[in-house]
Copies of this chain bind each other. A is one copy, B any other.
């Protein structure tokens, strides 16, 4: 079990989030990579509903989780942390320069070409559904998100993974695609459905998910259900 109080690697995550966010917080990505590599880590837990300290903004200038620390290496941005970890092990990132660069291309694609459109729609659904602009924009935002899903689906075709083998990019892409899963958008694309299922069937993902859930140990804010 990679979570260990005495581990050198420390990541931050949340000790409390609302239920509908569970499984979506980005420390899951880093936990998954660490599980794939069998590397132990400890967690430092923040409360999603409480303001970050000034100190934390020096660690993570946007106040988000996760951060990653191991000796003099101090990182943030899940994409960057995943790339840093994947560089250590051919199982997550091919050594061949052309294949490696392709995998990294897909990491950036997941985070810059796909995630913003999906998250934009997700935020409207989760937070702005009762605001007038949210109601007016919802269909257009969904259409734009669907177009991104279609592009990934067209690329993927009958392949198992984005390129010819599993890489760290498939971890990122499958979790990014999962952002719109609660809105029933994945089932319109059977190959994306199978792709996400294939990725999240990996024992390392299951262990990471379980570890993230186990860390939701902080009390709910006053007036909110635990």
Contact of A61 with B109 in the complex, beta carbons under 8 Å = yes
Contacts of A102 in B (CB 8 A): 74-75
Partner of A101, one of B73, B116, B152: B73
Contact of A80 with B101 in the complex, beta carbons under 8 Å = yes
How many angstroms between the C-alpha atoms of A109 and B134 in the bound complex?
26
Copy tally for this chain in the complex stands at 2
> Which residues from 41 to 57 on chain A have a C-beta closer than 8 Å to any C-beta of chain B?
57
What are 25 contact pairs spanning A and B, CB under 8 A?
A: A57-B154, A57-B155, A62-B148, A62-B151, A63-B151, A64-B113, A72-B98, A73-B101, A75-B101, A75-B105, A76-B109, A77-B108, A77-B109, A77-B112, A80-B101, A80-B105, A108-B111, A111-B111, A111-B112, A115-B116, A131-B136, A133-B133, A133-B134, A136-B136, A137-B137
